[in-house]
Structure 1
Amino acid sequence: MAAAGEAANEKARPRPGGRPRDAALDEAIILATRERLVRDGYSLMTIGDIAAEAKVSRPTLYRRWRTKFELVSWATSPAKRSARPSCSASSGSTPSNRGSRWSRTS
């Protein structure tokens, strides 16, 4: 009887979807970001340029990093690079709550 309960619990737990992320793609994106940042500067570089240089699609980039700022932060921060990027959408950070502790209250 306990085995039936365990089987039901296994079915109830959500499984991670999709295939695992390719670390080689992450590295190619990071390197392309660094190269574009040096060559073009932050304001002139685009996600499309980075994607083309890394030979990935724009959705591949946006699955890992939501914004150009997040991508550049990962590419330039050794502390962040020690952890693999995950889907940024699940981080809980939204434009309305990002930096809220720094906002003034008058």
Structure 2
Amino acid sequence: MLESDDDFDIADQYDSIEDPWLRSEFLDAIGKTRSFIDALRRSRDFARAKAAAARDEPAASARGKEARRRAPRTRRRTRVAVTRPPNKGRVRRRCPRPRPRVVLVIVLDLD
């Protein structure tokens, strides 16, 4: 898991740097990538939202509301392995076109 305070502090430091060159130098110095910083931001926002929900939870339970789980959605269609596109009811057979005939005549003259 993440050490929330230290890692979030890294994201805050990165956000405070305005110069792109210095940002890349900072990433090189700590050995992290931009995608790591983005993931830190997402997890920080999630942790803040979870903490806010935890603060609001006692008020919701005092009113008698309970958290309900949502029923999973059913699939509308079954999965089918498709190997070719459907013909949509139109079966057209092509007449075989005539192929040109090639006649090869070999004449050998033996003495």
TM range (shorter): under 0.3
Kindly name which structure, 1 or 2, has the bigger radius of gyration based on alpha carbons: 2
